[in-house]
Each structure stands twice: as structure tokens, then as C-alpha cells.
């Protein structure tokens, strides 16, 4: 039943490696972009707050598929922005990362903001009463608590991101969903086996992340 | 205003804020200028690329509105099937019987761990191989099947969390009155849990609307996003304009859904004083209990 795995015709590990790379690069990028957005959304400058809020509300309500397909049709094919790649596969890969960062950054921003919101204002007030200055209040009291509370939502974002990398199939990045489509067409009689293999692959990718970060979140949780 | 992060600004902080505002405005203007220059360079800002969406009603009647209808059709079918299925699975996960609880839990966890796109592609192949569904309807069937499997499992988690969030006394009191387990669930627990679950359920609706776009991009389902090819082919390669309009339609729909949900929730809350606190929306990762930030 699983003999298509031995035929050597399909590069299963290669496809999942591309999926993992997509997830890793997008995770790093969206962590940076999401932190910047969160910093804007909680900043004392109204214009920055307005920009952050508008961006998050607009992008979060747009389907990821639209974002990624727009990256391909709009950036690559209309404006000829290819992020320095030549082969169409590489272009798809890089633009998919760009789209994933733009989209996932909004969720990272909301996760961080929810972490900051769990810190009771009394913590900062007490720190100020002790005479700590702004930087000290932030780095010694507020942010350590906020990051601990943000671990669980961030873990959920990471798992969702890993699953969302499949959308990159829409613009031809050679990841797992593309290979699955090809295998479904060629190995129609082994349909269930093909699906089982890919389902297993994604469970392997997401389950350890979930378990580890769940454990970490429990250990890091602030006892109140 | 004062928050956990900073105090009410004094004269120095106000001056600094003004400075930040000016710098940020300059950066924004620079980015906007760069984007507009790039668009202008490829002639994407020309009026005739944008005007069809205002002047030519055929863009709407031939492409956008039929596409929107298909999107809403798939989303409505998915939520209508996923809601009862998800409620059943959620109640199953709370069952006192191990042989119900464990298999249902496994099914729910399985379908939550798999990308909804893979479910859709698998469903499409299933319908092609094993059923006589005509190829016109196969994409719709595949999209709805994928969305139902995924979202029913997510809703199951929401229902479970909603029922568990009620005070224990509710179930105990029902038992003391001599109610059976089924009666306790249908008359006591579920009606109260609905109010608690509503925000999460509605954000799931937003996720469903967004995920229908997958069918358009990869399964050949003629929904809103897939209309971009025909529009750009017929109205002079106005890619940027078309994607802007399509994205705006999605944003407006999702904003309307979110707004209606907020109103409904306030009304329900006023009507019934529930002792439970609302569980946070599952559509966004702000939620602590689930990983339902799906998709696309």
C-alpha cells in the first residue's frame, strides 16, 4: 500500500524540508514584524497607534490566500519584484515568506499585546513608586511578565503558521501540499495512504512544537 | 492617557511624542512615495485601470458578485454543517464514557492538526474517485467538506471549553433536581454556554470565510478570489486595482460579521445574567485555549 514511498519518484523529505524552511523563516520574520507592530500599537504616539491598529485590522481580515496570490501576481508579475530570485520556484518561495510574514505578523502583534494586557497596572505603578525610571519599569517589571504570558498564544500562532505554509502551494513554492497534489493525481489507487503520509508529516511538525511550548508556558506562567 | 507601560506624558514627553510623530510621518510618506512610484512606473495607477470598478457595472454583475455569492454559499454551508457536528463532537469529548470520549478526542485532535488545504485536496480526490458528483459541483463539495471537518473540530473545542467554563453548581443543581444527563446538557448547560461561546464561534465564521479563498486558488472553485484572472484579462491587466477591490470586499464582509457578533453578544448578555466569563475568541491567537488561528 505504501510502495510509492520506495519508488524514489517522490522527494517526500525534500518537500517537507521546504515546508519546514518556509515555517522557520516566516516565524523569524513575523516575530520581528509582529514585535514592531505591537510596539506601535502600545506606543504613546497616537499616529503610530493608529497605523498599527489599521494595519492589523485590515490584514487580519484578508484571507492569507489573497495576500500570497497578490504577492505573486502583483509584486512578481506586475511590478517585477522578485526579491533577488531567478528560478520561478525560488521566487514563489521568497514571495510566500513575504506574504506569510505580512499576515502572521498581525497575529504575533495581537499575541504580544494580549501578553502586555495581562500585566496588572499596579505592577508598573509599584515599580514607579519605588523610583524606577521608564526603561527599568519596562525591562525589569513589565516585559518579563508580558513575555511569559505571551508564550501560549505565540505557540498557537507558530502551529497555525506551520499549517498555513501549505497556502504557498498557490504560487508554486515546492512544499508538501504541491507534492501531495501531484501524488494524488499519479497514485489515485493509494489515495488514503498518500493522505495518511502527509497528515502524519504535519502531525510530526506541529505536535512536538505544541507539546514543548505548552510545557514551557506552564513552567513560565506567572503565578498570581 | 496612562497605561501599564507609561505615565501620563508631561511637557518633555509631549515634545518627544511630537518628534516621534513627525519622524514616523516622514517614514510613512517615504514608503508611500516609493510604492506609488513603483506602481506608476508600471502604469498601474492609470485611471482606466481603476475606473471599471466604479463606472462599469458589468465588472460587478459578471465577476465580483457571482464570485461573492459562491464564497458566501460555501461559507454558509460549512458553518451550517459544522455547527451541529461540532456541538456533537464537543459533547462527546465531555462524555462520562471512556469509549466515547477517547475516540472523539482523537478525531478532533487529528483534524485540528492538519492543514485545511490538505483536507480539501483529499476530499476533492475522494469525490472524484468514489462518487458520481459531477465535476461542476466537485470543487464546492471539496471546499465544504474540508472546511466542515476542520471547523467542526475547532467548534468542538469551543463547545467543550464553553461548557467547562460554567460554574460546577449548575450541573450539580440539575442533578439534584433529578434531571438526566441529556436533560442537564440540553436545558441547563448548553443554553448558558452559548452566550459564552458566541465570540469564539463568530471569529470562526470569519476564519471560514477567509478559508474559502483556498478553494479558488487551488481547487478551481469559482469564488471571489478566482475572479481576478478574468477581470485582469478583460480590463487591461489592472492587477493591483483588482486585488485591492477583492481584498476590500473580504475585509468589509469580515468587519460586518464581527460587528453583528458584538451586537448579538451584548444583547444576549443583557438578556441573561450568566455567571460564566466569556472565553476569548478562537479566531485570533490571543486565545489561550486553542490553536484555531487558521488559515487563509
- DSSP of B23-39, one letter per residue? HHHHHHHHHHHHHHHHH
User: A170 and B4: CB-CB below 8 Å?
Assistant: no
Cell numbers found for residue B145:
467538506
User: A164 and B295: CB-CB below 8 Å?
Assistant: yes
Residue A80 lies in a domain: yes
| A residues 9-38 lying closer than 8 A (beta carbon) to B | none
- Mutant choice from B293, B294, B295 vs A, greatest count of A C-beta within 10 A: B293
**pLDDT above 80 (res B291):** no
In this prediction, residue B292 has a pLDDT band, given cuts at 50, 70 and 90, of very low
Contact B87, B154 (CB under 8 A): no
Task: Look up the ipTM and state it.
Answer: 0.89
Spell out which residues of chain B touch residue A199, defining contact as CB-CB under 8 Å: 110, 113-114, 118
- Report phi then psi at B204, rounded to 5: -65, -35
Average pLDDT estimate for B2-24? 85
Contacts of B107 (CB under 8 A, 6+ apart): B89, B153
Residue A141 lies in a domain: yes
How many Å lie between the alpha carbon of B153 and the closest alpha carbon of chain A? 15
Spell out which residues of chain B touch residue A131, defining contact as CB-CB under 8 Å: none
Q: How far from chain centre, in Å, is Cα B216?
A: 16
- Mutant choice from B119, B199, B286 vs A, greatest count of A C-beta within 10 A: B286
Evaluated on CA atoms B229, B235, B240, B243, the torsion sign reads negative
Mapped onto helix, strand or coil, the DSSP state of residue B272 is: coil
Give the pLDDT of residue A101.
96
**pLDDT above 60 (res A193):** yes
In this prediction, residue B185 has a pLDDT band, given cuts at 50, 70 and 90, of very high
Q: In chain A, how many domains are there? A: 1
Q: Which of B224, B212, B254, B248 is nearest to B64 (CA)?
A: B224
Residue A36 lies in a domain: yes
Burial of B1 (C-beta count, 10 Å sphere; 0-12/13-18/19+): exposed
Angle at B13 between CA B8 and CA B15, to 5 degrees: 130
Residue A3 lies in a domain: no
Q: How many CB atoms lie within 10 A of CB B77?
A: 18
Q: Of how many residues is chain B composed?
A: 296
Average pLDDT estimate for B137-153? 94
Residue A58 lies in a domain: yes
Q: Which residue of A has its CA nearest to B295?
A: A164
**Tens-digit pLDDT profile for residues B61-103:** 888 999 999 999 999 999 999 999 999 999 999 999 999 999 9
Residue A5 lies in a domain: no
Average pLDDT estimate for A19-35? 94
User: A61 and B251: CB-CB below 8 Å?
Assistant: yes
Q: How many CB atoms lie within 10 A of CB B162?
A: 25
Q: How many CB atoms lie within 10 A of CB B53?
A: 19
Mean pLDDT of the residues in chain B? 86
Every domain of chain B and the residues it spans: 52-271
Q: Which residue of A has its CA nearest to B3?
A: A121
Cell numbers found for residue B266:
451584548
Q: Which of A196, A158, A198, A151 is nearest to A178 (CA)?
A: A198
Q: Which CATH number fits domain B52-271: 3.40.50.2000, 1.10.3720.10, 1.10.260.40, 3.40.50.970?
A: 1.10.3720.10
Q: How far from chain centre, in Å, is Cα B274?
A: 26
Helix %, strand %, coil % of chain B (to 5): 75, 0, 25
Spell out which residues of chain B touch residue A80, defining contact as CB-CB under 8 Å: 42
- Report phi then psi at B76, rounded to 5: -65, -45
Mean pLDDT of the residues in chain A? 88
Provide the CATH number for the domain around residue A158.
1.10.3720.10
Q: What domain range is A118 assigned to?
A: 12-220
Q: Which of A67, A59, A53, A220 is nearest to B251 (CA)?
A: A59
Q: Which residue of B has its CA nearest to A202?
A: B114
User: B129 and A163: CB-CB below 8 Å?
Assistant: no
Give the pLDDT of residue B8.
79
Amino acid at each position: 500500500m505504501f510502495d510509492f514511498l520506495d519508488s524514489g519518484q517522490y522527494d517526500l523529505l525534500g518537500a517537507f524540508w521546504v515546508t519546514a524552511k518556509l515555517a522557520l523563516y516566516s516565524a523569524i520574520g513575523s516575530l520581528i514584524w509582529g514585535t514592531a507592530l505591537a510596539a506601535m500599537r502600545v506606543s504613546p504616539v497616537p499616529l503610530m497607534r493608529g497605523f498599527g491598529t489599521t494595519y492589523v485590522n485590515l490584514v487580519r481580515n484578508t484571507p492569507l490566500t489573497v495576500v500570497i496570490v497578490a504577492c505573486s501576481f502583483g509584486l512578481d508579475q506586475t511590478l517585477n519584484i522578485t526579491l533577488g530570485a531567478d528560478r520561478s520556484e525560488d521566487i514563489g518561495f521568497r514571495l510566500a515568506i513575504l506574504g506569510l510574514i505580512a499576515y502572521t505578523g498581525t497575529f504575533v502583534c495581537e499575541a504580544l499585546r494580549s501578553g502586555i494586557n495581562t500585566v496588572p497596572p499596579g505592577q508598573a505603578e509599584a515599580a514607579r513608586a519605588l523610583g524606577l525610571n521608564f526603561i527599568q519599569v519596562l525591562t525589569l517589571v513589565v516585559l518579563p511578565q508580558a513575555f511569559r504570558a505571551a508564550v501560549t498564544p505565540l505557540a498557537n500562532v507558530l502551529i497555525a503558521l506551520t499549517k498555513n505554509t501549505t497556502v504557498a502551494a498557490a504560487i508554486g513554492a515546492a512544499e508538501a501540499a504541491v507534492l501531495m497534489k501531484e501524488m494524488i493525481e499519479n497514485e489515485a489507487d493509494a489515495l488514503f495512504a498518500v493522505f495518511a503520509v502527509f497528515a502524519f508529516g504535519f502531525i510530526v511538525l506541529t505536535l512536538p512544537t505544541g507539546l514543548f511550548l505548552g510545557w514551557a508556558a506552564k513552567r513560565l506562567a506567572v503565578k498570581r | 492617557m496612562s497605561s501599564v507601560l507609561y505615565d501620563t506624558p508631561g511637557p518633555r514627553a509631549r515634545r518627544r511624542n511630537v518628534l516621534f510623530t513627525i519622524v514616523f510621518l516622514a517614514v510613512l510618506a517615504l514608503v508611500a512615495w516609493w510604492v506609488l512610484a513603483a506602481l506608476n512606473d508600471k502604469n498601474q495607477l492609470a485611471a482606466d485601470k481603476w475606473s471599471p470598478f466604479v463606472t462599469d457595472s458589468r465588472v460587478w454583475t459578471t465577476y465580483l458578485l457571482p464570485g461573492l455569492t459562491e464564497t458566501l454559499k460555501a461559507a454558509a454551508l460549512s458553518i451550517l454543517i459544522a455547527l451541529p457536528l461540532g456541538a456533537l463532537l464537543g459533547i462527546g469529548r465531555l462524555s462520562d464514557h471512556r469509549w466515547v470520549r477517547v475516540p472523539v478526542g482523537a478525531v478532533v485532535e487529528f483534524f485540528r492538526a492538519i492543514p485545511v488545504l490538505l483536507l480539501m485536496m483529499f476530499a476533492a480526490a475522494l469525490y472524484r474517485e468514489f462518487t458520481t458528483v459531477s465535476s461542476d459541483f466537485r470543487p464546492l463539495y471539496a471546499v465544504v467538506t474540508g472546511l466542515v471537518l476542520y471547523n467542526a473540530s475547532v467548534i468542538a473545542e469551543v463547545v467543550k471549553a464553553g461548557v467547562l467554563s460554567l460554574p460546577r453548581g449548575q450541573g450539580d443543581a440539575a442533578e439534584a433536581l433529578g434531571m438526566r444527563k441529556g436533560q442537564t446538557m440540553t436545558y441547563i448547560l448548553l443554553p448558558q454556554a452559548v452566550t459564552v461561546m458566541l465570540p469564539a464561534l463568530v471569529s470562526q465564521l470569519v476564519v471560514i470565510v477567509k478559508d474559502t479563498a483556498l478553494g479558488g486558488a487551488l481547487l478551481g472553485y469559482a469564488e471571489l478570489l478566482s475572479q481576478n484572472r478574468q477581470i485582469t484579462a478583460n480590463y487591461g491587466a489592472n492587477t493591483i486595482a483588482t486585488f485591492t477591490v477583492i481584498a476590500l470586499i473580504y475585509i468589509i464582509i469580515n468587519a460586518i460579521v464581527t460587528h453583528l457578533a458584538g451586537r448579538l453578544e451584548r444583547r444576549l448578555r443583557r438578556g441573561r445574567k450568566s455567571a460564566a466569563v466569556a472565553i476569548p475568541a478562537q479566531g485570533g491567537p490571543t486565545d489561550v485555549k486553542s490553536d484555531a488561528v487558521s488559515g487563509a
